[in-house]
Each structure stands twice: as C-alpha cells, then as structure tokens.
C-alpha cells in the first residue's frame, strides 16, 4: 500500500508518521515490559509528580508533558527570576518556567518528538485509513457460510452417531479362542516385548517401537512360509474377530454415508457402488482415531482390544499391506486433523466420482466438490498456522494413499477369501461388500 499513497514524498511522510505514531503509542500506552527494561521509576523526571509514561522521550507527568509541548509550539523564551537553578517540585513547578523547561531538556525531552498540527491531522487520517483497511481485510477473509456450517454440523452428528469412542460393542465380536494369548506370549518370549509390558514400550523411542514391530512381522511372515511352529498362525487365529470388527465397521460406514448431505439423492445402485469401493478406505481412515503413535497400535479399549500389526497378520494380511497402512496411520495422525476435517475427508472419500461402476458421476462430482469447498474454507478460517500449511493438499494426498491401500487390500482379500476355510469365517456383509470368490 506504499505505492497507493503516491510517490516517494508520500512514502517518506508515511514512514515518518508511522515512526512518530509508534513513539506516541509508546507514550500513550506504556508498555510494562519496555518500562521495566528501562528501569525508570514511574515519577516525573521534571517535577517528581506521578508519571504517566514516556512523553517526548522522557518519563513525565501529564502537566510537564503539556508544558513542554506548549512551550515548544510557542517557541517561548523564559527567564529565571532567581539564579537559574530552581529545584522543580510538584507544588512549585508553575513558579519558574525557565528552570522547568531547562529541566525538561536536561532529562532528554526533545521537540522533534512533538507532532505539528498538520502531522497530527495526517496521523489521524492514517489511523482511520488503517482501520478501514483492516475492516476491509476482515470482510474479505473467507468465512464459512451458514450452509457450509450446516454441512459440517450434519457430518459431525453423523460421525457421532456411527463412531463409538468407547468401543463397547467390541465385546460382541467373536473371540479368537485362546490362540491370541498363546501367540502373544510366544512373541513375548521371542522379542522380549508385549503390549502388556507397557513400561518397556513407553521407554522406547517411537522409531524403535516401529522397527521392532516390523521385524516382528517379518518374523511372523517367515514362520508363515516355513512350517509354522505355532499352529495358530496357519489357522489365522485373529480372522473371526477381525472379520466381525470389519463387518461392524462396514455397517457404521454405511450409516455415516447415508447421512452425508446429498448421498441419498443418488440411485441405490450408485450408493452401493460408492460404498463397496470406499468402505475399506473409510475403515482405514476412521481407525486413525484409535491409532496411537506411542505404541503403534489401534487401541480400542484395554489390552483385549488393542490391535498390533501381528494381530492383523493373523487375520491373513501381510506386510505388503500392513507396512504402508501403518505409515499411513502415522502420517495421518501427525496431521492433527480437527474432527471437522476428519469427517469432511471421509465424506469426500466416499463421494469420489471415479469409482468403478458408478452411473451418475457428475452428480457425485458436484456433491464431492461441495464438500471440498467446505473443507478448504474450513481450513482457511479455522485451522491456525503452522498446522494449516498445505493441509488441504496433504489431505488430498491421503486419499491417493488410500487408493493404493485399497488396491493391496483387495488383492490380499481375494487370496484369503479364495480358501473356503477362510471365507466361511467372514460375515455375509463382508462377503457382499468385498466380494465373494466362492459363489
């Protein structure tokens, strides 16, 4: 806005005024820290009265401030009727103007700090102008419209109704006999760590935990290939439990999707196409809420429902999926999304117009666009720096990550469900959504 003021002279004046304004501001609103630094007692350097702050470069009272300004403006010449060494006090300060003014100059008061009438006028105009500019800036700032806020509220409510942070329903899932415990304790013996051994886990750095988990998985994988020592590994001991967990989650994802504004306007076929292709991605997204960076596991209440990578390997998945999945969970967790952003991202993911089998792609696209706009506006006005930096782009990148996770999951699911002894452990809903190779 320097250029707008017009030319070099205007700029010089503006800078000068700004500087003076700063000084004036300092005298008007004494900055406690600043005055503490200067270590000046709050008494007038001229007359000893109570000072109100720095005026024209010295700590003075209001009386001496006005006296100095008036004297300078009048270019007054005073003569001391005594010996030019009057001691100025609060009570006698009116008696000798000459010595009072001399005292003013002696303690550092400077006429250069006084604004001329023209400068005062300019300064007022500058302040008004700046206030107007600020008001304009404020009015230009993106704001969530009432409609956009309504969309967010609906999604928050949909999430609240379909995501139980107490995980109390998990007790209804099939229990994987005692095999889970046996395998767990065997891993304690082999690697000297377990989910129960929390002190060890907490003392260990995140990276160390991560590495140890991956080496655990590699070991499990090896033992999967070689004749298994633990018979439970070949039985996929965690499969029934995790199949129930996934089946339950699919139900919740469907419930969430149905509440997304516009979703129910789609044909039943398109709703199904969207749900079938996005369900696993939404399950991965929403599971981030239970994922903890401290122990690199999904903690859904107590040790009983704490899922580590080797638990998922015992449900038939391998590192090809689990390593990128954990990396995804870690990086998503580190985005520290607001719950508003989390639910919007799920909505955007479900309403992807490029899913296979979709008929009315343009309607889905327009619904997704609307959510993307809400998300971008939300980040602009509600997500403070530095977390907001490139946040939207990073979130969209997460959607791309989910696509490849989805692909890998499908691949592994096909292998798994191809074996009747495994597919019979799945639920009808899982078979319907992820596909049934047998039938």
Rounded CA separation 57/377 (Å) = 47
Instruction: State whether residue 387 is helix, strand or coil.
Output: coil
Euclidean distance between CA atoms 314 and 180, whole angstroms: 9
d(CA 236, CA 22): 73
The interaxial angle of helices 339-350 and 268-286, nearest 10 deg, is 140
Q: Which is nearer to Zn ion, 76 or 127 (CB)?
A: 76
**Least gap, CB of 119 to Zn ion (angstroms):** 24
Three-state DSSP at 291 gives strand
In 3D space, the residue among 255, 260, 257 whose CA is nearest the CA of residue 278 turns out to be 257
- Compute the least distance from the CB of residue 142 to Zn ion, in Å: 51
Q: Which pair of tokens denotes residue 284?
A: 């991965």
Contact footprint for Zn ion (CB under 5 A): 44, 46-47, 49, 61, 64, 80, 82, 86, 96, 99
Shortest reach from residue 76's CB to Zn ion, in Å? 14
Structure tokens at 324: 């990128």
Shortest separation between residue 42's beta carbon and Zn ion, angstroms:
12
- Pick 90 or 129: Cβ nearer Zn ion: 90
Residue written as tokens 């590994």? Answer: 233
- Minimum gap (Å) between residue 95 Cβ and Zn ion: 8
Q: Cβ 120 to Zn ion, closest distance in Å?
A: 23
CB of 93 to Zn ion, least distance (A): 6
Q: Contact, 175 vs 269, CB < 8 A?
A: no
* Cβ distance to Zn ion smaller for residue 103 or 398: 103
- Peptide bond between residue 295 and the one before it cis (omega within 30 degrees of 0): no
Q: Which is nearer to Zn ion, 44 or 213 (CB)?
A: 44
Torsion angle defined by CA atoms of residues 308, 164, 425 and 186, in that order, rounded to the nearest 10 degrees: 20
DSSP annotation of 116: P
Comparing C-alpha atoms, which of 228, 244, 224 is closest to residue 313? 224
CB of 105 vs Zn ion, minimal distance in Å: 14
CB 176 within 8 A of CB 241: yes
Q: Considering the complex, state which of residue 95 and residue 129 has its C-beta at the smaller distance from Zn ion.
A: 95
Query: What tokens were used for 368?
Result: 């997704």
Residue labelled with tokens 């991202």: 345
Q: How far is the CB of 31 from Zn ion (least distance, A)?
A: 21
Looking at the Cβ atoms of 77 and 390, the one nearer to Zn ion is: 77
Distance CA 406, CA 403 (A): 5
Cβ nearer to Zn ion, comparing 46 with 253? 46
Reply yes or no: is the peptide bond before residue 231 cis, omega within 30 of 0.
no
Minimum separation from the CB atom of position 29 to Zn ion (A): 20
Structure tokens at 297: 């596991």
Nearer to Zn ion, 64 or 312 (CB): 64
Contact 369, 305 (CB under 8 A): no
Contacts of 115 by beta carbon, 8 Å cutoff, 6+ apart:
20, 24, 123
Q: Which is nearer to Zn ion, 109 or 358 (CB)?
A: 109
Smaller CB separation from Zn ion, 44 or 155: 44
């Amino acid at each position: 806005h320097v250029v707008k003021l017009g030319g070099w002279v205007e700029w010089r004046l503006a800078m000068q005024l700004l500087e003076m304004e700063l000084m004036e501001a300092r005298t008007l609103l004494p900055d406690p820290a600043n005055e503490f630094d200067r270590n000046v007692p709050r008494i007038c350097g001229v007359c000893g009265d109570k000072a109100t702050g720095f005026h024209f470069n010295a700590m003075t009272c209001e009386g001496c401030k006005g006296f100095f300004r008036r004297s300078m403006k009048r270019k007054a010449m005073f003569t001391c009727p005594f010996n030019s060494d009057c001691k100025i006090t609060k009570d006698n300060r009116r008696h000798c103007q000459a010595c009072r003014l001399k005292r003013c100059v002696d303690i550092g008061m400077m006429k250069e700090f006084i604004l001329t009438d023209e400068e005062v006028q300019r300064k007022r105009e500058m302040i008004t102008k700046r206030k107007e500019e600020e008001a304009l800036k404020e009015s230009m700032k993106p704001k969530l419209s009432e409609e956009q806020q309504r969309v967010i509220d609906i999604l928050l409510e949909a999430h609240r109704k379909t995501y139980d942070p107490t995980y109390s329903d998990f007790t209804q899932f099939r229990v994987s006999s005692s095999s889970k415990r046996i395998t767990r304790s065997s891993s304690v013996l082999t690697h000297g760590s377990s989910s129960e051994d929390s002190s060890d886990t907490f003392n260990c750095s995140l990276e160390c935990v991560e590495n140890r988990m991956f080496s655990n998985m590699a070991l499990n994988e090896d033992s999967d290939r070689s004749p298994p020592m633990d018979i439970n590994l070949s039985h996929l001991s965690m499969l029934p439990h995790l199949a129930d967990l996934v089946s339950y989650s699919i139900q919740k994802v469907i419930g969430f999707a149905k509440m997304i504004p516009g979703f129910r306007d789609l044909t039943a076929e398109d709703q199904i196409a969207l749900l079938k292709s996005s369900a696993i991605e939404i399950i991965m997204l929403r599971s981030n809420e239970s994922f903890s960076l401290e122990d690199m596991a999904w903690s859904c209440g107590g040790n009983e429902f704490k899922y580590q990578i080797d638990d998922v390997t015992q449900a038939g998945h391998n590192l090809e999926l689990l390593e990128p999945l954990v990396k995804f969970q870690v990086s998503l967790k580190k985005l520290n999304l607001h719950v508003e952003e989390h639910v919007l991202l799920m909505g955007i993911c479900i309403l992807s117009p490029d899913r296979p089998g979709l008929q009315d792609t343009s309607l889905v696209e327009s619904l997704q666009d609307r959510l993307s706009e809400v998300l971008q506006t939300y980040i602009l006005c509600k997500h403070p720096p530095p977390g907001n930096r490139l946040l939207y782009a990073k979130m969209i990148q997460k959607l791309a990550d989910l696509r490849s996770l989805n692909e890998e999951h499908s691949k592994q699911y096909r292998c798994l469900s191809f074996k009747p002894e495994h597919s019979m452990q799945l639920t009808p809903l899982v078979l319907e959504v992820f596909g049934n190779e047998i039938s």
